[in-house]
Amino acid sequence: MHAGEPQPDPAPGELVRNHLRGVMPALQSLFVQSDHLARWGVELADRLLRGQRVLAAGNGGSAAEAQHLTAELVGRFDGEREPFSAISLHAESSAVTAIANDYGFDQVFARQVRAHGRPGDILVLLSTSGKSPNLLNAAAAARDAGITTWALTGAGPNPLIDCVDEYVAIDAGSANAQEGHLMALHALCRAFDAEVLGRRRAGQ
């Protein structure tokens, strides 16, 4: 091949291997923050056992991750336990479309936070970019309502981590960061279930 000629596109197999290599930085980032996720699991158990609620929100693939979290809490993760209150705000399709139509898409989560949230609840926001206006507005609404805010994001710094109470930022490319979010949620649920079980055995 002569200098200046276009390089051939990578073969599909190499693209796949490159993508899978990108999981490693995401996993390493989670390892570094594993104690933080464990603390979240304990705190989540404390709040939900006292009757508080989880609200969760995201856009696109992050919306699917938010709904994954609420499904684990309302259903179950590993073992049998009671259900806990958790709502995925994007899944309220009639509310989402009505709010978007009347107030704009930037308000679809904030208005629901003001409707459903109570002081002491936890709002979990997921975003690989950390820049979505509707999530930033939701965080502001939660702060005004006395709701604790947690965020799972991609690499920092980003606007979302600056306006929540706590965050886990995964230092990886966008797609791999989103895959890391699922691992983080499963790790959180594992710590949550263990804490709930331990308190139930202790008669709490």
Cβ–Cβ under 8 Å, residues 43 and 196: no
Cβ–Cβ under 8 Å, residues 161 and 5: no
Tell me which residue of 96, 57, 55 sits closest to 73, measured CA to CA: 55
What is the pLDDT at residue 78? 87
What is the pLDDT at residue 165? 98
Q: How many CA atoms lie within 13 A of 95 on its CB side?
A: 16
Say if residue 192 is exposed, middle or buried (CB neighbours under 10 Å; 0-12, 13-18, 19+): buried
Given a cut of 70, the residues of the chain with pLDDT beneath it are 1-5
Could you report the per-residue pLDDT of 142-177, keeping only the tens digit for each?
Answer: 999 999 999 999 999 999 999 999 999 999 999 999
Task: Please report the beta strands in the chain, taking only residues with DSSP state E, as ranges in sequence order.
Answer: 54-58, 86-88, 122-127, 148-153, 166-169
Tell me which residue of 140, 173, 167, 142 sits closest to 153, measured CA to CA: 167
Query: What whole-number distance in Å separates Cα of residue 107 and Cα of residue 187?
Result: 30
Sheet containing 148-153, strands listed edge to edge, beginning at the edge strand earlier in sequence: 86-88, 54-58, 122-127, 148-153, 166-169
Q: How many residues does the chain have?
A: 204
What is the pLDDT at residue 6? 75
What is the pLDDT at residue 8? 80
